[in-house]
A and B are shown apart, each in its own frame.
Chain A
Amino acid sequence: MKKYAVVTSISYPKKGAMGKTGSWRVFRPTLDKAKCVKCLRCWIYCPEGSIRREPDGSISIDYEYCKGCGICAKECAVKAITMKREDEHE
């Protein structure tokens, strides 16, 4: 019996499959480490997975792909994250 090769389009996993989405940002989340109580709410809610969990239990923000939605800032109960215009942050 004749065998046919299955031909289909296959995509392979890649970080940044849509490019550096950090460039979409208008507002930048900025973390005040002194205020942070390490509750990890921002980490679990960030739709992009742009909040990093550090080995010491603290968090940091990865700006390469963060789209600037502001969910982390809004959900932080102690206001340790604030949104600043890209052209205004330090």
Chain B
Amino acid sequence: MAIKDIPVEECMLQGNAACPGCPATMGLRLVLKALGKKTVMVIPACCTAVIESLYPHTSFDVPVMNIAFEAAAAGASGVEAALRKQGREDITVVAWAGDGGTYDIGLQALSGAFERGTNFIYICYNNQIYSNTGIQRSGATPYAAWTTTTVGGKAEFRKEMGEIVLAHHIPYAAQTCISYPEDVYAKVMKAKTIKGPKYIEILAPCPPGWRFSMDSTVEMGRLAVDCGAWAMWECENDVMTFSGKSKLLLEKKVPRKPVEDWIKHQGRFSHLFKPQRDEEKLKVIENHIDRTWERYRALYLQK
């Protein structure tokens, strides 16, 4: 799939409330290009509910149902059942939620929908914080990152949401990143053709939340993948395949970039460099990534 083959049609309208350089709108453009107009979205409280903009107008050119923070997957289950009853199985139902709405408060509704086999796509855009409410920590916030609720840097490691999803053994689960539009597009297109629950998580570097300049959203995603802080993969019927650069890292065909190359651009990690370098914490981050990839290799590398 070349960029030129991605459809021109836009269902995300210009002139919305997103910050300049927003990764969520970047992702939404791609997702809606892949799914087209025959899509119903369910969106809980998160930045995207704000990006919809002011009543009585919306920046979404597909139907969207807004729902409580914890209820995206439950709401999508209801919409899917109603459409099925009406014989409208040509319509794709998508829940689109943030990391807070997925890793934390929406987790049980999500697990329930997966276990019931609901025919929908759940997409988590992961900006590693509760950004809509002003940058609080979530279960997706990485170790040592500053947020307004982790002022000295987060003390815990992030959870591996993707692997929690894998434990449900749904037909399709994937991780990708907004910096790789062909990968995002291809994964959404594949999910669209599969019946049953599908999960896609998109890493979404957020300029105000991570404290980097608004022209660097794409670069921050690329560096996260290069240094192994984020992995791109897909798992279809329990067959796991790593994608793009992550595949090369898994197979040790390219060296992993030092994590410093990624975090040095982000104000949320600036306390690791000023007033002096916190060698100890930098080492903890690096070692954790190494251990994570050794675990990935033991579990997922095809021999």
Contacts and interface: CB of A to CB of B under 8 A. Distances in A.
Interface of A: 9-21, 24, 39-41, 43-50, 53, 57, 62, 64-65, 67-71, 73-75, 83
Nearest to B185: A44
A74 B218 contact: yes
Interface stretch (B57-65, B69-77, B158-166): B57-65
Q: Nearest 10 CB-CB pairs, A to B?
A: A70-B215, A16-B15, A17-B53, A65-B14, A67-B20, A69-B21, A17-B57, A69-B20, A11-B58, A14-B57
Given A47-B21, A68-B20, A17 B3 contact: no
Contacts, number: 113
A14 B57 CA distance: 6
Given A40-B3, A41-B3, A43-B3, A64 B14 contact: yes
Interface of B: 3-4, 6, 8, 10, 12-18, 20-23, 25-26, 29-30, 52-61, 181, 213-219
B31 to A, nearest CB: 13
Secondary structure of the B contact surface, majority rule: loop
Given A11-B58, A14-B57, A73 B20 contact: no
A82 to B, nearest CB: 12
Given A14-B58, A49-B29, A71-B217, A64 B3 contact: no
A21 B214 contact: no
Given A39-B3, A69-B21, A49 B61 contact: no
A31 B12 CA distance: 24
A70 B4 CA distance: 21
B58 A45 contact: no
A83 B217 CA distance: 16
Contacts of A57: 4
Nearest to B11: A13
A45 B181 contact: yes
A78 to B, nearest CB: 15
Nearest to B13: A15
Contacts of A18: 15-17, 53-54, 59
